Amino acid sequence: MRTCSRGLVIVFVVSLLASLTATSGLADDKPTIAVLTLSAQSLRGRTVEGLFDMLAYHGYVDAAEIADFAYNEDFEGEHLDIIWRDAGFDLPTVNIMVEEALDRGADILVTLTTNVTLTAVKGALESGIEPPPLVIFAIVTAPYSAGVAEAPCVKPPNVVGSHARVSYEDMVGLVPLLDPDADLIGSFATPARTATVIGVERIKGYAAELGIDVETASWVTAADGVVGAETLIDKGVDMFVSIGYPESLPAIVEAANVSGIPIVTSTMSYLPTGAHVVSGFYSYYEEGQIIGRMLVAQLQGILEPERTAIHADTAVTIALNLDSIAEGGIEIPAELMERADFVFENGESSEEFVKPEYADLGAEERRDELTDFLGALHCTDEMIAEQLAQLEADQ
């Protein structure tokens, strides 16, 4: 269900198309950026790292400042201040930290994950601040279904970001490869994580095309997840396929291994926890670079948020946990082994994460890079009109 108001978006789009002005730079005093996340655990930390590296590349922070930065502590730098907040997977805390950031006068809200982004967009638009603070988001797997935006160029004018696209078709397509006779799979969802609810519906759609039924287990607490997994096993599911799993995933892995049931997901952070097969988004560091460029462009006064499309990452990475696969006695076809980008074996990952090198360019050349980046995301009148028309046709 979309929560983004169509009328609100159209009013914004029409008014902005009628009279567009270049985005002015921020005030002369130091800007304040709030970095807000549902949790910085695991791979999301790479996104924050990519963000800071891009700020450093453009001279907004230096190596010493990055070294001094600590999660869960505010950051006061020479050129900008950062309010850092981590909700620790607690949804009530998400509301509190967004309200605090707005009350403290944050100029820009950088948000990671769907729930935090939805709360920040709503809070910014309802804050009474004119213009509303800019929201730059990342690690959002379903910005359109969740209601962050309606289309890449149809969105509130203070919202930009990067869509961490999950290829449900690719993920569900692994089911017949792992088990050609599979006709029933289990999935997990919790109302506390909007992306999981949307994910189950997308999984059902692609599974139906393959003639596969889907049973769903809902969880609120970690214990619910274990009970849900056992219930799904009792119903005879051939495997688990889900973008989200409860915090009790280790116990679910144990139950699945006893029954020889593969666990498939699109979330790479579940791999070391025991998920057997991961097929999905893995460009966490690159996400940080992308939103970092958007942030720098805003700081330099060259970002036009209302004219900047939502970026989309379409890369798919496949990884296998060979330890868990062996424990469950699960057979992995040779084709899937060949397609794997890396594996987790003997408690270690074969992945070699290497940061990209940043070219030693002058300020003008770096600015040209930003201009080219923004040009590739520019929303023309025609693009906006086409997307609005498609939205109306899809109703």
pLDDT of residue 15: 37
Segments in the chain below pLDDT 50: 1-28
pLDDT of residue 352: 84
pLDDT of residue 356: 85
Contact of 274 with 250, CB cutoff 8 Å: yes
pLDDT of residue 319: 96
Q: Could you give the 3-state DSSP secondary structure of residue 120?
A: helix
CA 187 to chain centre: 20
| Angstrom distance (rounded) from CA 99 to CA 120 | 8
Q: Which residues face 81 on adjacent strands?
A: 32, 76
Sheet containing 134-140, strands listed edge to edge, beginning at the edge strand earlier in sequence: 75-76, 81-86, 32-37, 108-112, 134-140, 159-164, 311-313
Residue 378 contacts by C-beta under 8 Å, 6 or more apart in sequence? 307, 308, 309
pLDDT of residue 376: 97
| Angstrom distance (rounded) from CA 239 to CA 262 | 5
Question: What stretch of H or E contains 343?
Answer: strand 342-345
Q: Could you give the 3-state DSSP secondary structure of residue 379?
A: coil
Domains and CATH numbers, the chain: 6-23+30-165+284-314+380-394 (3.40.50.2300), 168-280 (3.40.50.2300)
Give 262-296 pLDDT, tens digit per residue.
999 998 889 999 999 999 888 899 999 999 999 99
Integer CA distances (angstroms), 43 to 270, 287, 354, 361, in order: 10, 11, 14, 29
pLDDT of residue 70: 67
